[in-house]
Amino acid sequence: MAEAMQQNRNGGGRMTRPNLPPGVEAIRISSNENPLGPGKAAIDAILGKFPEANRYPFNSTPLDADLEILIAKVNTAKRENVVLGVGSQEILKNTARVFTSPTKHLVIPSPTYGDPAGFAQNVLKVTVKSAPVDPKTLKTNLDALLPLTKGAGLVYLCNPNNPTATVTGLDDIKKFVAEVHKTSPTTAILLDEAYNDYADPAQFQTAIPFALATPNVIVARTFSKAYGMAGVRIGYAIGHVDTIRKMARYRMPYNVNTFGVAAAVASLKDPQHIKEEVARNKQVRDFTLKALKDLGYDSTDSQTNFIFTDIGRTMTAAQFREACAKDGIMVGRDFPPLEKQWARISIGTMDEMQKATETFRKVLRPAMTTASGKGQ
Amino acid sequence: MTLSRRHFVQTVGIGAGAALTSSIWGRGRENAIWSAIEPDLQAVAPGVVCIASNENPVGPGPKVLGELKALMEGGKKPGRYSNQVGDLTDAIAKHFNVKGENVLLGEGSTEILRAATQVFTSKTKALVGTIPTYEECAGYAELIGNPVKGVKLNGDLKMDLDLMLAQAKGAGLVFYCNPNNPVSTYVGAKATRDFLTKMTQQSPETLILVDEAYFDYVTDPDHETHVPFALEHPNVIVARTFSKAYGMAGLRQGYAIGNAETLKKLRPWCAPSGTGSLNLFGMAAATAAIGQDASFTANERARNKEVRDMMMKYFKDKGMKPADCQANFMFVDIGTPAKEFRDACRAKNVLVGRDFPPYEKTHARISLGTMEEMQKAIKVFDQVLGKKTTTAAA
C-alpha cells in the first residue's frame, strides 16, 4: 500500500498511484532507479554512521566538506568548483533561482525532465520556451533551441535526455554554447548529467572539464542513478568558480544528510561497482530492447537505464501503463507531447525484465495483428 | 579530518551583506557559506568533546536505530525514491491530533524557516526577530534582499515582548524562537499566547513563526506548545525539528504545523514528494521517533536537566552568570571574548559554540553533552577560565 501512496504536496494529503490487483507484487520500472541499490561499500558506510545520527553534517565524519573535496578530486577540480545539493533536485531549483526571472526565461527541449520547467513556471513565474526534439531520432534539437535562447536566463539540457534516453555529443554542446553566448553572453547553460555513467563513451563525453573552464556552464550530477541512492538524496553542481559561487549562496545550510555523505564518499572510492552496474544495465537493456524489437516495436538509441519505446500504433502510454499494472509491472508516466505514442520503461534486474517483457508480449501483441488498438 | 577544511569557505560566497548581518544578527553558521567567520569547521574526532552545535549527545535511541537497521537489511531500499512522505506526515499529524494538511515537512526546520522567509517577507515587509537569535531567517532574508529588523533582548537576555510588538507592526514575518537560541532563555506559555493574540489583533497580515526546536528541553512549568494557537490562527505557524531532543541532526528532518491555507503558500518552497522528497533514512527514523510514547522526550529532558543543573551550578560557583536556561545549551557571561575561550578550549579537544554578536566579547554558548563529557569539559574550562574567580567564594 505504501508503494501506491504519495503525498500530494498541494494539500498535504495523499494521492493514489494505479493500484495493483491484490497479491500482485510490484516490479517498479517507472522511476529510472538502479534496482540493486548502492554497493556494499556504501551500505557499510551507512551502517557505520548510526552512532553519528545526532551530529550535524559539519560535525560528522566524513564532513559534507569532505565529499565536496572528493568530488572535486575525482573531477580534477577544486572544492570551490563544487556545491552539494539534496539530490540534483536542489541544484536544478537553485540554478533556476539564480539565473531565471520573470524577465529572463528558461529554454528546454520538449520533452525533457520536467522539474526545472515546473518549478520555474509555477513557483518562480518564469516563462518557459521549448523546442521539440528531432521527430525521427528524438535527439535534442539544438538548432531549434538556439533561436529561443536570446535573452534567456537559462537553458536546461538533460544529457543523456530523460525521457528520450538519447545523447547529445560534447562537440555539439560546445558549439551550441558558443553560439548562445555570442548573442546572449550571460545566459547560463545547465547540463544535467544524471545518467552519464550509463552512456556509451563513444557517444557521450562529460561536459565537466568544459564547465570548469567556461563561466555560466554548469553540470549537475546525482547519486540517485548508477550509484543506486535515489532515496539518499545527494547530488551536486560542478562548474566555474564564479558560477558555483552564485549557486552556493542558495545552498540550504546543512542540506545533505550524514548517512548520504558517508555513502557517497564510499561509493566514489569504489569505481569498480559503477563499472559493474553499467555493464549489468547494458546487458538487461539490450535484452529488453531486443524483446520489444522482436514484437515489432522500435526504441530510441538508449544511453541510460531506461528506454523510450514507440508503442503508438497499438496504444497510448496511459493504456500501456494500466495494462502492465494488472501484472504488477509499473512503467513510466506520461511524457507530453509524446504520451500518445511513446512509453518510458526503466531497466530493472534481468529477472524483473524477463517478467516485464512477458507482460509486454501479452499487452502489446494482440494489437499487432489488428493494429487498431489505439484509442480504445 | 584536518583543520583546514574551511579555507575554501573563506573565499566563497561572503559578500558585504553577510558581513553586515554578522555585525547585526550574530551570523556564524557552521555551514559552508556562513561559516567563513567561524574559526573552524571540524569533524568530531574520537576523544573530542563537541558541545558546539546543540546536538543531543546520546542520539535517537534504540527504537529509531532499530528501524534504520531494518530498513538497510537487504540494501535495496536506498536505491529507490522514497514514498514515505505520506507515512511521516500521518505520524506527525497523529502525534498532534491534526490533519495531514496541517503538516508541512522540510529538510530540517531550516527549509521551513527559509520557506516562511521567502513567502512572507518582501522589499517592504521586513523580518523581525531578536538580536541575537537563530540566524537562518535573517541570513535568508538578506540573501533574497529583504529587510531585517532586530529587536534587543532585555537585561536578562529574554525577549522583550513589548518592544517586539512595537517593532513587529506591519512586518512580513516575526521569527519567535522559544527557547531562544543562542541565549537559552524562555518566555512562558501565557506570555507567548498574549503576544500572539496582540500580534494577531494589531498586525493580522504578519506571519509569526514560533520555532519550538528546543521545546522538549523546557522544564519551566508554564510551558505548552503553541500548535493549538497556530491551528486556530492562520497568521501563526509552529516549526519543529528532529535535530534536537530526538537526536537526529544528521538526518535532516523538520516540519511546520499550522493552518492548511497558510502552509499551502509554503509548500512550493519545500521538498516535494516523489523524486524530490526527503531522504529515506530521515523519514523512516522520524516516523519511528515521533511514534514513541512521551517517555522518550521525558527521559531526554530529565537527562539534559541533570547535566544542565550541574553546569549552572558550576558557572554560578565560578561567579560567571549563565542566562536562565531552558534548553540543551547555555549562554554564559565568561567575561572574555568567546573566540579566545573557544580557541583555548579547542586546543584541549573541547569544541564550544561560535560567536554571537553583540555578546561575542563577553558571552559563550556551551551546548550540553553527556555528564561524562561535561565533566571532561569542566576540567578544560577550569584551565582556560581559571580554577576559581575572586568572586566565586561567596
Residues B95-135 pLDDT 10s = 999 999 999 999 999 999 999 999 999 999 999 999 999 99
- For the packed helices A241-250 and A87-99, what is the interaxial angle rounded to 10 degrees? 100
Phi and psi at residue B377, to the nearest 5°: -60, -40
- For residue B394, being part of any structural domain is answered with no
Per the listing, cell 522514497 goes with B82
Per DSSP, the three-state class of A238 is strand
CATH number for the domain that contains residue B308: 3.90.1150.10
Give the whole-angstrom CA distance, residue A196 versus residue A277. 13
**Contact of B353 with B364, CB cutoff 8 Å:** yes
Q: How does residue A20 score in pLDDT terms, banded at 50, 70 and 90?
A: confident
CB contact under 8 A, A59 and B278: no
| Angle, alpha carbons A79-A84-A86 (nearest 5°) | 175
| A124 & A172 share domain | yes
Q: Is B59 on the interface with A (CB under 8 A)?
A: yes
C-alpha to C-alpha distance for B365 and B342, rounded to whole angstroms: 10
**Is B68 within 8 Å of A50 when comparing Cβ atoms?**
yes
pLDDT for B187-234, tens place per residue?
Answer: 999 999 999 999 999 999 999 999 999 999 999 999 999 999 999 999
Question: Closest Cα of chain B to A316: distance in Å?
Answer: 23
Task: Kindly report the nearest CA distance between residue B296 and chain A, in angstroms.
Answer: 15
Task: Please give the grid coordinates belonging to residue B73.
Answer: 537489511
Name chain B contacts of A58, Cβ cutoff 8 Å.
Answer: 30-31, 35, 41, 53
Claim to verify: residue A13 and residue A88 sit in the same structural domain: no
User: What confidence category does residue B72 fall into, taking pLDDT thresholds of 50, 70 and 90?
Assistant: confident
The distance of A329 to chain B (nearest Cα, Å) reads 16
Residues of A in contact with B370 (CB under 8 A): none
pLDDT of residue B75: 67
B141 and B111 share one domain: yes
Does the beta-carbon distance from B243 to A56 stay under 8 Å? yes
Whether the pLDDT of residue B17 is over 60: the answer is no
**Based on the structure, what is the number of domains in chain B?**
2
What's phi and psi for B298, nearest 5 deg?
Answer: -60, -45
- For A123, which residue in chain B has the nearest alpha carbon? B268
Interface predicted TM-score (ipTM): 0.91
Using a CB-CB cut-off of 8 Å, the residues of chain B touching A257 are: 250-252, 279, 281-282
Query: Three-class SS of residue B22?
Result: helix
The answer on A94 and A15 residing in a single domain is no
Neighbouring C-alpha atoms within 13 Å toward the C-beta of A100: 32
Residue B227 sits in the same domain as residue B339 = no
Chain B, 145 to 204: residues with Cβ < 8 Å from chain A are none
Question: Higher confidence at residue A114 or residue B394?
Answer: A114
* Per-position b or e across B359-390, b if 16+ CB within 10 A of its CB: bbeebbbbbbbbeebbebbbebbeebbeeeee
Cβ atoms of A289 and A100 within 8 Å: the answer is no
- Give the count of alpha carbons within 13 A of A117, CB side only: 16
> What residues of A are in contact with residue B77 (Cβ under 8 Å)?
37, 231
**A375 found inside a domain:** no
Q: Is the pLDDT of residue B371 over 60?
A: yes
Residue B145 lies in a domain: yes
Distance to chain A for B115, nearest Cα, Å: 11
Buried b (16+ CB within 10 A) or exposed e, B58-76: ebbbeebbebbeebbeebb
Confidence at residue B192, expressed as pLDDT on a 0 to 100 scale: 98
pLDDT at B24: 34
Per-window interface: B 325-364 vs A, CB < 8 A: none
Q: What is the pLDDT of residues B138-187, one digit of tens each?
A: 999 999 999 999 999 999 999 999 999 999 999 999 999 999 999 999 99
pLDDT (tens digit per residue) in A44-90: 999 999 989 999 999 998 999 999 999 999 999 999 999 999 999 99
The DSSP line for A207-232 is: SHHHHHHSTTEEEEEESSSTT--TTT
Is the residue at A262 inside a domain? yes
Residue pair A189/A297 in contact (Cβ under 8 Å)? The answer is: no
Taking residues A248-260, report their average pLDDT: 95
- Number of alpha carbons in the 13 Å side-chain half-sphere of residue A259: 32
Residues A335 and A244 in one domain: no
| Closest C-alpha to A46, from B67, B69, B93, B39 | B69
Q: Do β-strands B127-131 and B103-107 pair in parallel, antiparallel, or remain unpaired?
A: unpaired
Find out whether the peptide bond into A18 is cis, omega within 30 degrees of 0: no
Nearest Cα residue to A376 out of A319, A317, A311, A326: A319
Query: Within a 10 A sphere around the Cβ of B204, how many other Cβ atoms?
Result: 10
Record the pTM: 0.90
Pairing of strands A13-16, A5-8: antiparallel
Q: Is the pLDDT of residue A306 over 70?
A: yes
Interface residue A260 vs chain B (CB under 8 A) = yes
Domain of A145, in residue numbers: 40-269
- A192 and A334 housed in the same domain: no
For residues A25 and A83, give the distance between their C-alpha atoms in angstroms, rounded to a whole number: 39
* CATH code: domain of residue A58: 3.40.640.10
Which residue in B2, B3, B5, B261 has the most chain A C-beta atoms within 10 A of its own C-beta, making it the best mutation to test that interface? B5
- Rounded CA-CA distance B125/B130 in Å is 16
In 10 A of CB A141, how many CB atoms?
17
> What 3-state class would DSSP assign to A56?
coil
Chain segment A223-236, per-residue pLDDT in tens: 999 999 999 999 99
In a domain, B391, yes or no: no
Per the structure block, which three cell numbers stand in for B347? 586546543
Q: Which amino acid is at B283?
A: M
Domain co-membership, A277 together with A265 = no
Q: Does B99 touch chain A if contact means CB atoms closer than 8 Å? A: yes
- The C-alpha atoms of residue A176 and residue A167 are separated, in whole angstroms, by 14
Note whether B354 and B38 are within 8 A (CB).
Answer: yes
Nearest CA-CA distance, residue B84 and chain A, Å: 7
Domain boundaries, position B255: 62-290
Report the gap between the CA of A143 and the closest CA in chain B (Å). Answer: 31
Selected for mutation to probe chain A from B135, B277, B370 (highest A CB count within 10 Å) is B277
Q: Which of A2, A54, A245 comes nearest B12 by C-beta? A: A245
The Cα A181–Cα A149 span in angstroms is 9
- How many inter-chain contacts (A to B, CB under 8 Å) are there? 255
Same domain, B231 and B331: no
Please name the residues in contact with B65: beta carbons below 8 A apart, sequence gap of 6 or more.
A50, A53, B59
Decide if B78 and A60 are in contact by the 8 Å CB cutoff.
Answer: no
Amino acid letter at A39?
A: G
CATH number at residue B248: 3.40.640.10
What pLDDT score does A8 carry?
34
Q: Does the beta carbon of A38 lie under 8 angstroms from any beta carbon of chain B?
A: yes
